[in-house]
Chains A and B, each alone.
Chain A
Amino acid sequence: MMVVFPSEEWFQEVRQAYNSDQGLHSGGGGACDTTAGFKVGEYWYFIEFEGLECGQVRQCTEQDLEATDFILEMPLETWQAMLKDVQANGKASSNLTLNSIDLEFEDGIARSPIDDQYRQDLFYRYNQNFQDFFDASSLVETTFESQA
């Protein structure tokens, strides 16, 4: 089944793929407990990692993200470039990982909604869990908004 990125349905499919196979988790082999937000174009998404799983992911408003640890924000084209690369290669190439993209932007891509450095640093502590999550989208047949 083809799903559109960005959409709540797409994130749900990725969550299911990520949770179904722990072989996809290379991020340290341990628990990850954090809440985060994604700004994708004009849409906002909330995600929660609980232990070894992605507990929930859903579309939300910007206000809903005020209590999250951090928000990843990048232009729609950058999200699409990363995910198209994942679709093509099974995982993000080295220049299109969250880490590499973070280096490309002068202010980085992660910010704390309440300007709390401690919580923003969770992006670095759990960086691979998030990368693994997006790499799991290689298992989800994806079409992109402009193509839909």
Chain B
Amino acid sequence: MADKPSGKAASVDREAKLVDPTQGIPEPSYSWRGLTNEWGVKVLPGAHGLRLGDVNVGSYGEVPDYWADQTRRPRGSVGRPGIPPLPYSLRSKHELWADCAADLYEEAIQRRWIPATEVPWDSLEVLPVDIEKAVCQMCTELSQCANTELEIITYWQDRMSYGYFEVKQYLATATFDCARQQEVLRKRALSNGGGLGIESRGRVNRIILESSGGWTEAVVYLYLLRGTYITRLLSGLLSAAHNEAEVFIYSHMLEDHARHLTYGYDHLKYASSHGKDATLIMQTLLAVGEGHMAAELNEGVVSTAMAIIFGGGIEGARTHGMERYLLLVRDFITDYLAICQELGIEREKTLHPVFKRYLENE
């Protein structure tokens, strides 16, 4: 029998065994070392820092037209055999791509804002009750639009291949923008003696959420059709803001929304020039969508709320308030047709009769 250490020596030996950090861990192989598609990459920050698009160099910057890989493998990394596929169904570039996505991602994270502390809430003052009701109704309406946008993006985001990570990351910021819009609109409605108004019938929200033919179809409805209208609503609300809080809210919402439209229009431009029959499909979709949009325009909740805001009350709403709203709708349809034309989508000849009527309004 070997001699056993005794006394103090035995105690030190036991402690050493207890704290041995490698005990039970197999000898590391480091076999993963050197497994790379491209090594030695050293991108330096430019005048604007190190942006997402800046590191799209060499093989890392190659964005294929079709991404066959159904795993979460980061673009440019080495694939591992045997990884079970994930349900990424959007694997063609034309189904989601926009060249501006990486830049928009950077812009979104740089231009973030905080409703809780940055909106000058103390500038809110009591408004005539009809105006407060109209403002709160618009908050209710726009909040549902933001919620619809958030839900349809997240629905499709889950299906987008990792090969196009710029788009996935940009859309993550768009969903955050939507959450912030819901937050700030709710806060505006509940901070000046009013409250939320009546729920929208949501005709257009429904066609957006039910656009199951692909992300491009959703973009047609979400941004080209309804988003273009929302830009005009936000511009109108900003021009008629009652206090500094509303100026801050609407101006920041407008800037965020403009970024969303930039992605939307840019994606449709890419899709229309790379997808088979894409503009014809968009034309068909819009013919259907205009009908729903026309019905929503005729419903009267938004129109009267906006007319009250523009007219400074119910009396003014009946005259110049409604006139101004009708001009807003006319401007929306003018913008919509101009963008359709730029994308090569024929809409003018077969424009929905209700749209035509608004367009003829002078």
A98 → chain B, closest Cβ, in Å?
A: 10
Q: A117-B265, A125-B255 are in contact. Are A31 and B239 (CB under 8 A)?
A: no
- Report yes or no: A121 in contact with B240, Cβ–Cβ below 8 A: no
- Report yes or no: B265 in contact with A121, Cβ–Cβ below 8 A: yes
B337 located at the interface, meaning its Cβ lies under 8 Å from any Cβ of chain A in the complex: no
Q: Please give, as numbers and ranges, the residues of chain A lying within 8 Å of B262 by CB-CB distance.
A: 118, 121, 125
A94 located at the interface, meaning its Cβ lies under 8 Å from any Cβ of chain B in the complex: yes
- Report yes or no: A99 in contact with B235, Cβ–Cβ below 8 A: yes
A102 located at the interface, meaning its Cβ lies under 8 Å from any Cβ of chain B in the complex: yes
B17 located at the interface, meaning its Cβ lies under 8 Å from any Cβ of chain A in the complex: no
- Report yes or no: B107 in contact with A30, Cβ–Cβ below 8 A: yes
Of B100, B235, B266, B338, the contact of A102 (CB 8 Å cutoff): B235
Classify the interface of chain B: helix, strand, loop or mixed: helix
A97 located at the interface, meaning its Cβ lies under 8 Å from any Cβ of chain B in the complex: yes
Kindly identify, within residues 52 to 94 of chain B, every residue whose CB is under 8 Å from any CB belonging to chain A. Answer: none
- Report yes or no: A121 in contact with B261, Cβ–Cβ below 8 A: yes
B3 located at the interface, meaning its Cβ lies under 8 Å from any Cβ of chain A in the complex: no
A28 located at the interface, meaning its Cβ lies under 8 Å from any Cβ of chain B in the complex: yes
Of B111, B235, B238, B239, the contact of A30 (CB 8 Å cutoff): B111
Of A94, A100, A117, A127, the contact of B254 (CB 8 Å cutoff): A127
A41 to B269, CA, bound (A): 35
B355 located at the interface, meaning its Cβ lies under 8 Å from any Cβ of chain A in the complex: no
Which of A29, A124, A131 gathers the greatest number of chain B CB atoms within 10 Å?
Answer: A124
Q: A94-B241, A99-B251, A103-B239 are in contact. Are A31 and B48 (CB under 8 A)?
A: yes
B80 → chain A, closest Cβ, in Å?
A: 38
29 contacts between A and B (CB under 8 A): A26-B248, A27-B255, A29-B113, A30-B110, A31-B48, A31-B111, A33-B48, A50-B47, A51-B47, A94-B238, A94-B240, A94-B241, A94-B247, A95-B239, A97-B238, A97-B239, A102-B235, A103-B235, A118-B100, A121-B258, A125-B107, A125-B255, A125-B259, A125-B262, A126-B255, A127-B254, A128-B252, A128-B255, A131-B251
Q: Please give, as numbers and ranges, the residues of chain B lying within 8 Å of A30 by CB-CB distance.
A: 107, 109-112
A129 to B241, CA, bound (A): 18
Q: How many Cβ-Cβ contacts under 8 Å join chain A to chain B?
A: 81
A29 to B339, CA, bound (A): 30
- Report yes or no: B251 in contact with A29, Cβ–Cβ below 8 A: no
B149 → chain A, closest Cβ, in Å?
A: 17
B346 located at the interface, meaning its Cβ lies under 8 Å from any Cβ of chain A in the complex: no
A26 to B249, CA, bound (A): 11
Q: Nearest A residue to B232 by beta-carbon distance?
A: A103
A97 to B251, CA, bound (A): 11
Q: Please give, as numbers and ranges, the residues of chain A lying within 8 Å of B194 by CB-CB distance.
A: none
- Report yes or no: A103 in contact with B259, Cβ–Cβ below 8 A: no
- Report yes or no: B231 in contact with A29, Cβ–Cβ below 8 A: no
B361 → chain A, closest Cβ, in Å?
A: 13
Of B107, B113, B255, B331, the contact of A124 (CB 8 Å cutoff): B255
Please name 15 further chain A to chain B contacts, defined as beta carbons within 8 Å, in addition to the given A50-B47, A118-B262, A118-B269, sorted by A numbering.
A27-B251, A27-B255, A30-B112, A31-B110, A97-B238, A100-B238, A121-B258, A121-B261, A121-B262, A121-B265, A124-B254, A124-B261, A127-B254, A127-B258, A128-B255
A97 to B342, CA, bound (A): 28
A7 to B64, CA, bound (A): 50
B236 located at the interface, meaning its Cβ lies under 8 Å from any Cβ of chain A in the complex: yes
Q: Nearest B residue to A128 by beta-carbon distance?
A: B251
Q: Nearest B residue to A121 by beta-carbon distance?
A: B262
B20 located at the interface, meaning its Cβ lies under 8 Å from any Cβ of chain A in the complex: no
Q: Please give, as numbers and ranges, the residues of chain B lying within 8 Å of A128 by CB-CB distance.
A: 251-252, 255
- Report yes or no: B331 in contact with A103, Cβ–Cβ below 8 A: yes
Q: Please give, as numbers and ranges, the residues of chain B lying within 8 Å of A27 by CB-CB distance.
A: 111, 251, 255
Q: Please give, as numbers and ranges, the residues of chain B lying within 8 Å of A117 by CB-CB distance.
A: 265, 338-339, 342
B323 → chain A, closest Cβ, in Å?
A: 13
Cβ contacts A6-34/B at 8 Å (1 or 0 each): 00000000000000000000111111010
Kindly identify, within residues 221 to 279 of chain B, every residue whose CB is under 8 Å from any CB belonging to chain A. Answer: 231, 235-236, 238-241, 247-248, 251-252, 254-255, 258-259, 261-262, 265-266, 269
Kindly identify, within residues 94 to 140 of chain B, every residue whose CB is under 8 Å from any CB belonging to chain A. Answer: 100, 107, 109-113, 118
A97 to B248, CA, bound (A): 13
